A = this chain, B = another copy of it.
Amino acid sequence: MESNDLWSSGFVAEPTFWINHASRLIMREFEQLLRPLGFGTAYLPVVMLLEQHRELQQRQLADFVRVEQPTMAALLTRMQRDGLIVRTPHPTDARSSLISLSPKALERLPEVMAVLGDGVGRALDGVPEEDRAALQRILRIVVTNLGGIP
C-alpha cells in the first residue's frame, strides 16, 4: 500500500482534488517565502490592484479579487495591522472609506515580487511553456464554470 494509492484512485483522483492539493502546497510555499517580508500570500492581489488604481473601496477590492466581503474586510485588517494600507474617509459616502497603499508597501513591493518569482519558478519547474498556457486555459474554464468570472 503506497501512499500514492490515495491520490491515484477513486474520486480523490479527480483533477479537482489535484487542484486543491497543489493549491495547499503553493500556499505553504509562498507563505514561508513571504513571512520574512511581513507579507501574506493573500495581500498580493490587493497590492496589485491598489498599485494600479491608487485608491479603491473595500467593495471594489472584494469584487475584483473575487472573495466575499467579510473575507476582504479581514484581509484589509491584517494589511492595515502590518502597515501596508491606509484608509481615508470616502468624500461623499459616509459608509465607505478609500483604501490606498502605504509608502512602506510600495517600498517593499520589488522584493516581494522577486521572492514570489522564485516561488512561482520553483513550483512550475519542469513545466514547459505550452503546458503552463494549457494549465491557465483549462483552469480558466473551471473558474468560469464555478462562477468565478461574471
Q: Which residues on A are within 8 Å of B, measured CB to CB? A: 1, 3-7, 10-30, 41, 44-45, 48-49, 52-53, 63-67, 113, 116-117, 119-120, 122-127, 131-132, 134-136, 138-143, 145-150
Contact = CB atoms under 8 A, between A and B. Distances in A.
A121 to B, nearest CB: 10
Contact of A139 (B22, B64, B125): B22
B16 A124 contact: yes
Q: How many copies does the complex hold?
A: 2
A11 B123 contact: no
B131 A145 contact: no
A126 B52 CA distance: 34
B48 A6 contact: yes
A40 B33 CA distance: 30
16 contacts: A4-B149, A5-B52, A7-B149, A13-B136, A14-B120, A16-B26, A16-B30, A16-B123, A17-B45, A18-B143, A19-B135, A21-B66, A25-B143, A28-B146, A29-B146, A122-B145
